[in-house]
Amino acid sequence: MATTTTLETAVPRVGSSADSKALLERRFFTGMALGLTLAVVAGFSRTYYFNGLAAAPFAMTPLLHWHGAVYSAWMLLLVSQTMLVATRQVHLHRQLGILGACLAVLMIVLGPAVAISRTADGTIADHGAPPLVFLAVPLLGMVVFAGLISAALLLRSRSPSAHKRLMLLATVEVATAGISRLPVVETWGPIGFFGVSDIFIGAIVAYDIVTTRRIHPATLWGGLALIASQPLRLMLGGSDPWLAFASWLTS
């Protein structure tokens, strides 16, 4: 009996380290999804989610209602998908991925449509830049979103670790609109709200370093593409060719 007890004590708990890492991963990605969703809800609380409670409600058009519904569905789906993975319901996660792809297509259509229409009728939010200049931010942002989502879908089976990081990065892009409308952040202009959005990218980088002691290639290249695009949008937005193109779009 003593020998058996000694052997049992000497044998390490196989998988305990892997289990801890898996638990941390589930908590991190679920927490990121919830954090981005809360930022969007807080940012659009006055003009969408709780608009009816405002003393002077924001005028909602059918296009804005569709836009809000589709983008909200994306955020809810992201939270649901991370929770499904956390509870090991991978089969359902993959089935809902089809819905996610469909929502992404609708977002790529509705996002530019809203930006162009609101610039044309003069109702676009004041972000400290002329409307035609600022139009480059959401339009080129949709290009970045489309690129990140396409890469995430292509890698969903080949590299799940890359897939989940690219999905988060793509959501950081679309969540920036909500972040830019947060009560304090909205006074900081594009540089300010881009900087706050980039905190989420920094969190993914920190997670990679803590868990694997290196930055995952999807985080590195996807994050760099997202961050590099931010000042480039403003630079392009101030160029004569863009202003001519933006004037044509909104005429």
Tens-digit pLDDT profile for residues 182-219 = 988 988 988 899 999 999 999 999 999 999 999 999 99
Report domain extents, the chain. 20-250
Chain position carrying tokens 């044309």: 120
Cα pseudo-dihedral 221, 222, 227, 228, rounded to 10: 50
Q: What is the pLDDT along the chain (251 residues), one digit of tens a residue?
A: 444 433 334 444 545 667 788 888 889 999 999 999 999 999 999 888 888 777 667 778 899 999 999 999 999 999 999 988 888 788 888 888 889 999 999 999 999 999 999 999 877 776 878 899 999 999 999 999 999 999 999 998 899 999 999 999 999 999 999 999 998 898 898 889 999 999 999 999 999 999 999 999 999 999 999 999 999 999 999 999 999 999 999 98
How many angstroms separate the first and last alpha carbons of the chain?
88
CB burial of residue 121 (10 Å; 0-12, 13-18, 19+) = exposed
How many Cα neighbours within 13 Å face the side chain of 170?
A: 29
pLDDT tens digits, residue range 14-39? 456 677 888 888 899 999 999 999 99
d(C-alpha 242, C-alpha 55), whole Å: 38
CB-based contacts of 246, cutoff 8 Å, min separation 6: 119, 132, 133, 135, 136, 237
Query: If we measure between CA atoms, which residue out of 138, 134, 141, 148 comes closest to residue 235?
Result: 134
Q: Is the pTM of this model over 0.75?
A: yes
